[in-house]
Structure 1
Amino acid sequence: MPMMKGGQLIAETLVKEKVPYVFGICGHGNVGILDALYDVRDKLQLISPRHEQCAGHMADAYYRVKHRPVATLTSTGPGSANMVMSLATALSDSSAFMAITANVPTSQHNRGPFQELYRHNQADFAQVVRPVVKRAFQPTRVDMLPLALRQAMDTMVTGRPGPVNLDIPYNVFQEEADVELPPASHLDRPVRPGASEADIAAVIALMAEARKPVLFIGHGATLAEAGPELTELQQKLRIPVITSPNGMGCVPADDALTLGFIGRNGAFPANEAGRQADLVITVGTRFDDRSSSSWHAGYSWNFPKTKLVHVDIDPQELGRNYATDIGIAADAKVFTRQLLNALAARCEIDAKRYAPWVEEVQGWVRQWETFVQPHFGDSTSPLRPEFVVGTLQKTLPDDVILSLDSGVHHNWFMQFWKPKRPQSMLNSWGYSSMGFGVCGILGAQLAAPDRPCVAVVGDGGFTMTPYVLCTAVEYNLPCVWIIWNNFAWGAIRDLQYGLFDGREIGTAFYKGQSGERYNPDFAAWARACGADGVTVTRPQDLGGAVEQALKNRRPCVIDVHVDAEVRPPSTGTWQLPPIPYKEPVYGKPYIA
């Protein structure tokens, strides 16, 4: 076997696995691997953003677009600690990347050297990230690396995807051993479990009894690339489809039976169909509080009166929040194909059977459109939120990748955005991290260099992570950031108005005690970084600014002043116990 340094072994393994990028930041703890990355720089590019959190969000978004993991590299101590939020974000949304963190040399373990965590166990940094990764590995010798690398690769993508951590002492990068590269992982041959024949037969039996079925699809469907099969099922039976934000785009958004998101800020037809359905087949979702109106019966769902078929590749999610009539641990794509094959032999289960239900659902769609559409044409300054969403829907091309940050703007997009493709609406859903949308768009652009990549982010979230502009300029990434500028932490301000009688504190951006609204000049900030910058305060300027930014193919910030006093119309509910929950603004609970 050849003598190889640990750093060389890691670099060559990543090349062998066709990993194109390492997103990372140098430090004394990882300088020992940089030389190995230099040797393979024509096959494995090191992209260095200005903050480790950004590296993690970039890797997360890259996987969501490409469904191929990349790696991150951070140094001992604070650099790796900055990864915690992006790892938690990826874990919560089942997104995979390999986080390589450096640690102190093994000869100095438990001596308290520079940046060692040692109070409870030597070189204990792996304990910091264990709650936010699928698995943490800590190889302390070069001959331990091949097994750890292979296991880490497989762990990332087998079953429910997620990030992994390799915590590597500094000396392991530079020491040598007689080692070979690990065998190929499952990256190119993912394990896709299916349902049993008995389970498929049981689902068919429930469908034969049902009169009002709905499909509810989420990120598991997106990750399995089950869109074609789910679209075929929707078209074959004309079943209404409700989507989580990370499931949007899997089925045609312009179909009248694609109802959108459900929950407090969901669309009215989705909530109405969910609470009146007699059978829900959910594929790759987990019924979190926002997609279930905090589990209050009659607001989004009516379990256990409604029958529930729950399909997920992670058996721990089956029945977590609602008891299932049938729980199936299976890949979304495989299950849906199995169901379609079984339906081919059951001619009595067809679109005609569900036609009365479909007509009822389409009535709710028309009712909702009549209620919301007038505001999409409102011409106001500052701009009305519906106008912004509608203008972007008309202006952005069908192949756009949209990256959304946490904030009130996200509520508007969940309710009204219609992505035209899978993996084209990136959301920090489970962990709702500020900065994911701002930073993630860089990773999305690297995953899809020929597609327009646009981040819609709040003024608060952008101010947390503005260094992304430096990276975009350095690496010539033509991302566009549209800042939803309402001069506030708008989502929390709305909670103060809705739940605390408008007793606003700590949520609006003011200059001193003057009461004058304040934010930086974001457009000037962009220009100072070498990017383009535009401020939009008039509705007639928005479409043209976006079109020009896409045409220029340069990093660009568009600062859009949005009316903070207009709030998304709630159609379900959401509760922060013990505070009482609010009734829907539009629609009402329905308990069968």
Structure 2
Amino acid sequence: MSETNALNGGQMIVDYLICNNVPYAFGLCGHGNIGFIDALYERQSDIKTISTHHESVSGFMADVYYRVSGQPTATFTSCGPGSANMPIALGNAFLDSVPFLAVTGNVPTSQFNRGAFQELYRHYQADFPSTVRAYCKRVFQPTRGEQMPHTIREAWKTMVTGRPGPVVLDVPFDIFKESTGAETPDPRAWVEGISCKVGADPQGVDKAAKLLMEAERPVVLVGSGCRFGEASKRLIELAEKYRIPVAASASGLGALPAEHELALGLVARNGMYQANQATRQADLILALGVRFDDRTSSSWIPGYSFNIPPTKLIHVDIDPEEIGRNYPVELGLMADTTTFLGQLLDALDKYESGATPQRKAWLSSIDGWRKEWDAFVEPGFKDPASPINPQRAAREIDLAMPDDGILVSDIGIHHNWLIQYCKPKRPDSLIGCMGFGPMGFGVAGVLGAKLAAPERPCVAVVGDGAFFMHNTVLGTAVEYNIPAVWVVWNNYAYASIRGLQRGYLEGRELATDFKHPETGQPYNPDFAAMARSCGVDGVSIDRPKDLADAIRQAIAANRPYVIDANIGAESNPGGAGIWDLPGLGQSKPMFGGRHELG
């Protein structure tokens, strides 16, 4: 290839994205990335650029786009403060194993270590990679155009292979325009031929099958690793054929439809009684793609979520670092969950189905626990109070969502209500941020969901704090005609943190309420009016019977829509587990107590 026809750095990145079927690049302009934007300009018919009004928004959009479509996308930000707004979105994707390519601009190579405008140089030249290293899978920084062919293919391969995650491609200003002297690497030759659907060793699979069939009280515990590919279908086959109940971490909700007779629901500090009771009474847990974080495990205190040991644990994960991190294993297997479930089903063929007397007795006990829990929580679903009872709000939102709807939750008190009382029908019916927990994830992520699935209703439930923080999404929705719906869970507080102050600090509240300085009354902007000022439809709701109808109306409108819902803030969601804040104490179960196995 002649030098005159060679692509420059920016053109090669864009061409590589197009070769990988990337439909969108989300980002914000700056002087440091105009060379990249120019390359996007040249290929507008092949890849669409979405300009956001805050850099974090672009990362959240890319994150949720992947969770819905399975297709990684890219973001673009400028040097200095522009890219410094990205770690919050990168960290969230990193902990939740979501890939996207973050293209960050930097100062020209000829200006390295000279203190050019927006250069981080006090510890090392052009040092943005050090800033973001803890928040992503890897950082690449080519400093010559000829490095780009190798760099772009390595960056993409790192992003999508093994345990996926976001990768940063930090490109100095001049490299976007410098010739690479080469053609774009062919992804089919360098990446598409790599399979990471690794299976467990055959002896390990046979042992897992034997342990599972010998157990009298088995439970399958699923995390995010069971929400992609064929894993959910194989999970349903396993559960139904061998009559094994399935509990879920917050990341695994929807892998088995919530209304399925074998679905236990959420096991966590605020999880359902039947889920926590089953996992702490189980003699064997098969954990698939689960991290066993402090919320799922009730801060690792025995008797609330788990009793491991004496409960035997089979832990399967594609990342061996997660196996045995928080609990000892009877059997640990490094494998892709989809592949492993296929192996396990094959290995179980020589066994009879799970309809044994012991298994029937186990399921009967669980059914009793479920009925106890349902009777306990039932009154909250009928409460007609205004402001709206948050438990009823969660139920009304769930009832309003069509079967194919996508509910994207931000982080906050509403998130705890939703994961407890919503009943996701599909693996992508309820999407939340489970590891890093950044405010703004749902506010912005719903735009990515709608772009990934334009034919499906996409609704975000977001706290008033998060919506106020990232309300620039309204402008983006209007500019690109993205008909997302936002339900603002308006309780006039950072209510989840205020709940901790009330529960652990004897009510010493500070910096968590939103109040007017003159009247002392709860204060927030009129979010519906704010929406209308941006050209977005907006309504205010304060009665529970109106909430579901408002959501249905917003979906039917098929344009950007904000529902400002006045939600009560005096009650926090409890559950059958606990949460320990060292030095402050432990919460108490709302229902049931501590149950240890002998």
Q: For this structure pair, what is the TM-score category when the shorter chain's length is used for normalisation?
A: over 0.9
Q: Percent identical across equivalent pairs?
A: 50
Q: Please point out which of 3, 7, 30 is paired with 1:4.
A: 7
After superposition, the C-alpha distances for 1:55-112 in whole angstroms (9 at most, x for unaligned) are: 0110011111111110000011100000010000100111110000011111111111
Is residue 344 from structure 1 mapped to residue 349 from structure 2 by the alignment?
A: yes
3-state DSSP of counterpart to 1:337: helix
Is residue 261 from structure 1 mapped to residue 286 from structure 2 by the alignment?
A: no
Stretch deviating more after TM superposition (499-508 or 399-408): 499-508
Change (3 A) 1:583 1:14: same
Aligned to 1:553: 558
3-state DSSP of counterpart to 2:314: strand
Q: Please point out which of 320, 325, 335 is paired with 1:320.
A: 325
Is residue 250 from structure 1 mapped to residue 274 from structure 2 by the alignment?
A: no
The Cα shift of 1:209 comes to: 2.3
**1:107-506 counterparts in 2 under 5 A?**
107-184=110-187, 185-186=190-191, 190-347=195-352, 349-350=354-355, 353-506=358-511
User: Structure 2: how far apart are the matches of 1:510 and 1:534?
Assistant: 22
3-state DSSP of counterpart to 2:585: coil
Aligned to 1:40: 43
After superposition, the C-alpha distances for 1:131-177 in whole angstroms (9 at most, x for unaligned) are: 11101000111111111111111111111110000000010111113
After superposition, the C-alpha distances for 1:254-273 in whole angstroms (9 at most, x for unaligned) are: 11321111121111111100
Aligned to 2:23: 20
Aligned to 2:77: 74
3-state DSSP of counterpart to 1:178: coil
Aligned to 2:55: 52
User: Structure 1: how far apart are the matches of 2:250 and 2:453?
Assistant: 20
User: Structure 2: how far apart are the matches of 1:233 and 1:350?
Assistant: 13
User: Structure 1: how far apart are the matches of 2:302 and 2:568?
Assistant: 33
State the one-letter code of the partner of 2:386.
S
Stretch deviating more after TM superposition (182-191 or 471-480): 182-191
3-state DSSP of counterpart to 2:31: coil
State the one-letter code of the partner of 2:531.
A
The Cα shift of 1:52 comes to: 0.2
Q: Give yes or no for contact 1:236–1:351 (8 Å, CA) kept in 2.
A: no
State the one-letter code of the partner of 2:76.
L
After superposition, the C-alpha distances for 1:383-422 in whole angstroms (9 at most, x for unaligned) are: 1112111112221101111111111101101111111111
State the one-letter code of the partner of 1:574.
W
User: Structure 1: how far apart are the matches of 2:355 and 2:42?
Assistant: 60
Change (3 A) 1:324 1:169: same
The Cα shift of 1:202 comes to: 1.0
Aligned to 2:589: 584
Q: Please point out which of 99, 102, 105 is paired with 1:102.
A: 105
3-state DSSP of counterpart to 1:223: coil
The Cα shift of 1:423 comes to: 2.0
Stretch deviating more after TM superposition (327-336 or 3-12): 3-12
3-state DSSP of counterpart to 2:142: coil
State the one-letter code of the partner of 2:7.
M
Stretch deviating more after TM superposition (354-363 or 238-247): 238-247
Q: Give yes or no for contact 2:242–2:353 (8 Å, CA) kept in 1.
A: no
3-state DSSP of counterpart to 1:4: coil
Q: Give yes or no for contact 1:68–1:187 (8 Å, CA) kept in 2.
A: no
3-state DSSP of counterpart to 1:99: strand
User: Structure 2: how far apart are the matches of 1:188 and 1:101?
Assistant: 28
Q: Give yes or no for contact 2:280–2:596 (8 Å, CA) kept in 1.
A: yes
User: Structure 2: how far apart are the matches of 1:585 and 1:349?
Assistant: 33
After superposition, the C-alpha distances for 1:505-540 in whole angstroms (9 at most, x for unaligned) are: 111110115321100000000000000000001222
Q: Give yes or no for contact 1:245–1:425 (8 Å, CA) kept in 2.
A: no
Q: Give yes or no for contact 1:224–1:331 (8 Å, CA) kept in 2.
A: no
The unaligned stretches of length 5 or more in structure 1 are none
Q: Give yes or no for contact 1:224–1:332 (8 Å, CA) kept in 2.
A: no
State the one-letter code of the partner of 2:469.
M
User: Structure 1: how far apart are the matches of 2:430 and 2:552?
Assistant: 19
Stretch deviating more after TM superposition (305-314 or 423-432): 423-432
State the one-letter code of the partner of 1:155.
T
User: Structure 2: how far apart are the matches of 1:215 and 1:129?
Assistant: 36
Length, aligned pairs only: 592
Change (3 A) 1:277 1:268: same
User: Structure 2: how far apart are the matches of 1:559 and 1:552?
Assistant: 16
3-state DSSP of counterpart to 1:265: coil
Q: Give yes or no for contact 1:405–1:434 (8 Å, CA) kept in 2.
A: yes
Q: Give yes or no for contact 1:294–1:573 (8 Å, CA) kept in 2.
A: yes
State the one-letter code of the partner of 2:334.
A
State the one-letter code of the partner of 2:16.
T
Q: Give yes or no for contact 2:155–2:167 (8 Å, CA) kept in 1.
A: yes
The Cα shift of 1:349 comes to: 4.8
User: Structure 1: how far apart are the matches of 2:88 and 2:332?
Assistant: 32
3-state DSSP of counterpart to 2:562: strand
Q: Give yes or no for contact 1:382–1:562 (8 Å, CA) kept in 2.
A: yes
The Cα shift of 1:569 comes to: 2.4
User: Structure 2: how far apart are the matches of 1:172 and 1:348?
Assistant: 61
Q: Please point out which of 534, 545, 569 is paired with 1:529.
A: 534
The Cα shift of 1:282 comes to: 0.3
User: Structure 2: how far apart are the matches of 1:360 and 1:234?
Assistant: 17
The unaligned stretches of length 5 or more in structure 2 are none
Aligned to 2:33: 30
State the one-letter code of the partner of 1:62.
Y
Q: Please point out which of 543, 566, 571 is paired with 2:576.
A: 571
The Cα shift of 1:223 comes to: 3.4
User: Runs ≥4 in structure 1, deviation > 2 angstroms?
Assistant: 185-190, 348-353
User: Structure 1: how far apart are the matches of 2:398 and 2:129?
Assistant: 44
State the one-letter code of the partner of 1:323.
P
